[in-house]
Amino acid sequence: MQFKKTLLATALMSAAAWAPSAHAIPAFARQVGMACSACHYQHFPALNGFGRSFKQNGYTMVGAQEKIEAEGLSIPAVLNAALVGYAQYQKTNGPVGAIGGQTSSTKNTNNGQVQIPQQVSLFLGGRVGEHTGFEAEVSLANGGTVPNAGATATNSGLIRLKVPFVYDVGGVNVGAIPFSTNGLGPADSFEVLNTGSVAVHAFNQTLVAGGTTGGMQVISAQQYLGTATAASGVAFVASNDQFFANFAKWGANTGAGGSGGPTSNYLRAAWTPGDLIPGFDAAVGVQFWKGTTTTSAIVANGVVAATPAANVDTKATAIDAQLLGDVSGMPLTFVFSYAVAPASPAAGTVGNVNLYNAGTQRKKSFNIAAELGVIPNKATLQLGIRRASSGAPVQGGTIAAPVAIANSNATDNAIMFGATYNIALNVRAELTFTKGSGDVYNSVAAGQAAYMGDRMTTVDLAFGF
């Protein structure tokens, strides 16, 4: 029974890693009549102060765009839409052939994988009324293979939807946000920091399913834990230019076949003083996931990740911070995050598996990362460092007869180097290289089937129009 619960949690977290990540939405640029850079720091998807304000006001701000108004009605004259996508080449250095999980007709990133497009999403968003907005993402296409899975994925359908109802109460934006996502977690209900607390605002979006060497998993402790899962529910938020808070009741169910109520809790609070450090936009926050949710058919990217009904705990804690500002005339993004997920019960003991940590030891990660605009508004360099404990036991013994070492907790460290170049404001080339180290990459682990290696190189072309 414990094995089945552990397998379920692993499947859910892996499926979440396959899910596309959202980026800047030119639909909003059309609505406010400003370039994407008005809301984003250095490049999309990281938000600046104005971008935070736009989101905190529920996407209702309108610039020069004509509106249709009547009693109880205030909407843009046209529906704002955008296409955002990626073309990608990804190479990991794990074994090829049967030991790497490949057959003559099944390949993965150990062989080197080209996906054109890797994802294409249709975004719709903007103003619904004076106090109401919406954001929706619908996936249109995928390159055909789920990274590292060797499976065909249609990757079509609704990826995320939220409808903020926001009111100004004494200088504080207060509201409720019904939301649903097939792979971004309850944090996607409302978030404005760039620490990776929610995947959509991390400055490096590179993921690798079945492994932990993706750029986002190096720069963000929350993404290393795997908090980006299917989720739907209602968030209750309050914010202004000094703080924001989000309490969400949610469940791990979305779309076709999903079931269960919003029985899990998510709490997010952050202080955003802006002028805490002269010349820098500073913020610090905390996150708490707690409760139990019922899972049924969890669908991510058109793939059913788990079908048996099961109860899973949702337990994790995180603290994070960011600094945005100029250093010698070059824009700098600096982020820090630390996250912990309690262990799941050992085999044969009573209790639910933790959705964010199927291991029997505490899972934790300390991450720092930075992005420097070496050519402002044109080119950046990125660095990320992770020191983590995986929660899983160290693999000992031999390659032919591996043995899990009792009461051990395998380390999973990594370093990431990246670079971006804006070909145009809404077209960007990206290069990411990551190198893992620690127990999870030892010689015994490296000899097992489907090992994805300790190095990954990704070349991306991101576009939005």
DSSP for 402-444 reads: EEEPTT---B-EEEEEEEEEEEETTEEEEEEEEEEESGGGSHH
Predicted local confidence at residue 33, as pLDDT: 63
What does the block give as tokens for 44?
């999309």
Predicted local confidence at residue 49, as pLDDT: 67
For 347, other C-beta atoms within 10 Å of its C-beta total: 11
Average pLDDT of the segment spanning 373-388: 95
Share of the chain above pLDDT 90, in %: 40
456 pairs with which residues across the strands?
92, 434
Give the CATH class of 2-464.
mainly beta
**Least confident span in 221-235, 244-258, 335-349, 397-411:** 244-258
Question: pLDDT digit string (tens) for 86-105?
Answer: 889 999 888 876 565 566 56
Q: What's the pLDDT band for 83 if we cut at 50, 70, 90?
A: confident
Predicted local confidence at residue 146, as pLDDT: 32
Q: What's the pLDDT band for 172 if we cut at 50, 70, 90?
A: very high
Question: pLDDT digit string (tens) for 141-151?
Answer: 654 333 323 22
Res 403 pLDDT > 70: yes
Average pLDDT of the segment spanning 262-268: 93
Question: pLDDT digit string (tens) for 414-462?
Answer: 999 999 999 987 889 999 999 999 999 999 988 887 788 899 999 999 8
**Least confident span in 29-43, 254-268, 414-428:** 29-43
Predicted local confidence at residue 373, as pLDDT: 94
**Least confident span in 8-12, 95-99, 199-203, 365-369:** 8-12
Res 332 pLDDT > 60: yes
Q: Is residue 166 within 8 Å of residue 173, measured between CB atoms?
A: yes
CA distances to 27, 129, 130, 313 from 73, rounded to whole Å, are: 20, 6, 8, 42
Q: Which residues contact 170 (CB under 8 A, 6 or more apart)?
A: none
Predicted local confidence at residue 384, as pLDDT: 97
Predicted local confidence at residue 7, as pLDDT: 41
Domain regions of the chain by residue span: 2-464
Q: Is residue 36 within 8 Å of residue 425, measured between CB atoms?
A: yes
CA distance 36 to 22: 14
Report the amino acid identity of residue 76.
Answer: P
Helix, strand, coil fractions of the chain, as percent rounded to 5? 15, 45, 40
Predicted local confidence at residue 183, as pLDDT: 83
The pTM score is 0.84
Alpha helices in 186-253 (DSSP H): 215-219, 221-225
Please give the mean pLDDT across all residues of the chain: 80
Surface-to-core class of residue 335, CB atoms within 10 Å of its CB (0-12 exposed, 13-18 middle, 19+ buried): buried
**Least confident span in 28-37, 104-113, 114-123, 371-380:** 28-37
Res 157 pLDDT > 90: no
Question: pLDDT digit string (tens) for 267-318?
Answer: 999 999 877 888 888 999 999 999 988 765 443 333 334 445 578 889 999 9
Predicted local confidence at residue 15, as pLDDT: 37
CA distance 432 to 436: 13
Average pLDDT of the segment spanning 172-176: 95
